[in-house]
Amino acid sequence: MSQHIQTVLFDLDGTLLDTAPDLANALNAVLEQNGQPALPFERIRPVVSHGGRALIELGFGLEPSHPDFEPLRIQLLDHYLAHIADQTRLFPGMDEVLDHIEQSGRKWGVVTNKPGWLTNPLLDALDLRRRAAGIVSGDTLEERKPHPAPLLHACELVGTPPGDCLYVGDAERDIEAGHQAGMATLVALFGYLMEQDRPETWGATALIHSPQELLAWIQ
């Protein structure tokens, strides 16, 4: 399979980038501003891949229909944007993977449910946006993962057929979207998996424990 892979597409939070420290700090800042105790990092980390709504549900125990929910979510995202790359880094070994992809004449891109007004400043801060062949954010199209449309749009942006792409993610919706788009898929077990997640049942092409394991699929 590996000789066919021309483009590697990555989910962002929990796959390409370790964004949990900055998102956890944002949630705890909002909790403390609203008179609530901070949560331990270990409780927040698994929820990070599921976005701001999931973080507010975790921190405040509120349903999205609650009148305080949306103001708190906006407060969270405002704080996060102001500190978007304080501690966020590529996962260890991912820089080597990106270098290999580029040096081998292949391409890489990002398909995330994170909105563009957060995705682009984050990638800019880490000097990654100029290197990505294509970026599809959660608001690029009307559809978001698990719908396959964002992945298919990424294929158009990078000029690679879906069958020659590999999608790497850390959530079931990533693997579902990749399947429906006709791509090989890898689960990033180093990402933000919930305790109840059973990635071995998601039907991915393979599960990987570190970014370096990706190289076996593209060499």
User: Could you give the residue numbers annotated as active site?
Assistant: 11
Residue 208 tokens, joined:
């990987």
Find out whether the peptide bond into 146 is cis, omega within 30 degrees of 0. yes
Strand partners, 207: 187
Residues 92 and 173: their CA atoms lie apart, in Å, by 24
Q: How many CB atoms lie within 10 A of CB 85?
A: 15
CA neighbor of 138 nearest in space, from 113, 110, 173: 113
Tokens of 219: 């060499």
Helix (H) or strand (E) holding 24: helix 20-33
